[in-house]
Amino acid sequence: MDNRGLEKLDQLLLKYGNDDSILSASELDGYFAAIVSGPRQIDPGIWYPHIWAEQLPKWANDKEGERFTKLAVELMSEAAYMLGEEPDDYEAIFLADDNGMGEKLIVSQWCAGYLRGAQVAGWIDAELPETQQTALANITLHGSEEGVDALNAMSDEQYDASVATVEPAALALYDYWQQHLEPVLPVRRDEAKVGRNDPCSCGSGKKYKQCCMRS
């Protein structure tokens, strides 16, 4: 995804978000990285509302909602492809803080999004081997409030070294879960099935067959 797409995601997330929702493309990229890394496929009807902390946006017009959905699915697909097919070239979307003394990577938003995604995907509390536990701990350090004191106590060199572990951690967790995928089983639907011509549950304003049914 190019910078224009990322900037548009930033704008829409900020415009329609709330105090508890995802508010940047960096955070959304982390969220999707965790979603696609898990042991089971997550339906858009589940992951989409959690972007907004269950407070779905009231789009100004259909075009705006469609634009967001298209960009979000593109970002998610790109994360899945790079993690699975091009791991050597995988790059998370981190922020950069140029403080006048060189560019410093800021990974807190990406990591917070990753933890949200792991929660939504249902594997954040799973029992993991030591290597993967350490990987998740490295991400948690930067993405949770509990890690703030430890990060503040680090020197610049220690911080940079810690940041350098985040992308390898994401790759390690992806690889682990790909080896432990859950079988896809038919599920009996208790709720009413969404029809092809019904409004899509993601809130885009489009019909289901023209939106998330395609993803």
**Which pLDDT score is estimated for 117?**
98
Angstrom distance (rounded) from CA 162 to CA 144: 14
**Which pLDDT score is estimated for 187?**
47
Q: Where in the chain is the domain with CATH 1.20.120.740?
A: 1-177
Question: pTM to 2 decimals?
Answer: 0.84
CA nearest to 52, candidates 19, 93, 10: 19
CA nearest to 101, candidates 169, 150, 141, 160: 160
For 1-177, CATH number?
A: 1.20.120.740
Cα-flanking dihedrals φ and ψ of residue 175, to 5°? -60, -40
Kindly report, residue by residue over 169-183, the tens digit of the pLDDT.
Answer: 999 999 999 999 987
Write down how long the chain is. 215
Kindly report, residue by residue over 4-48, the tens digit of the pLDDT.
Answer: 999 999 999 999 999 999 999 999 999 999 999 999 999 999 999
